[in-house]
Amino acid sequence: MTLRLLLLVNLLVYSVGVQDDEASRRALHLAERMAKSIRACPERVITAQFKKQWVKETWGPPAAVKYDVERTTSMLYPFTASVDFALTVKHGKSYKTREAAAADDRLVPLLTGQYRNLYKFTKDDNIQLDSTLVASSPGKWETRPTWSDACWDKRP
């Protein structure tokens, strides 16, 4: 009787371990998919008016994309993932018309910022964008707004 109980317990432990391994593989696959999606994003192009002058600005495309996955203690969201990437902001000259600014193809790099998107994964592989962050200084992250026209702020 004791041997049967011991075998049953071992079988249950093994089964849970296999399920955990499968869940971890799925979470890694989802995070890899998110990173691949961000890596494929085009640059974000904006032509806007500042002080009665028109300027073209671009953000990206994303570079140095990397991801990580962590197991949580949550039953609803057993995994979280972070996808880090860099965006270079380029800026053009000032023009009197929107059309002239939009045609500007000699933009100058101003800065490169570090960005992080945090995602939650449900047990059935649904992905939720949890927060969007920008590095304000090395190792310090602050919340940033999402941009509806930016590919990297969308869920695939």
pLDDT at 14: 42
pLDDT at 30: 87
Q: Are 37 and 29 in contact (CB under 8 A)?
A: no
pLDDT at 103: 96
In 133-151, which positions are buried (b, 16+ CB within 10 angstroms) versus exposed (e)? bebeeeeebeebeeeeebb
Q: Are 77 and 27 in contact (CB under 8 A)?
A: no
pLDDT at 17: 42
Q: Are 19 and 8 in contact (CB under 8 A)?
A: no
For residue 116, the cross-strand partners are 84, 133
Name, in order, each residue with C-beta under 8 angstroms of 147's C-beta and a sequence gap of 6 or more.
44, 153
pLDDT at 6: 52
Looking at residue 125, the DSSP 8-state letter turns out to be -
Strands 127-137 and 108-121: antiparallel
Q: Are 120 and 77 in contact (CB under 8 A)?
A: yes
pLDDT at 1: 54
pLDDT along the chain (156 residues), means of 10: 54 44 86 93 94 95 96 90 96 95 95 94 84 90 93 82
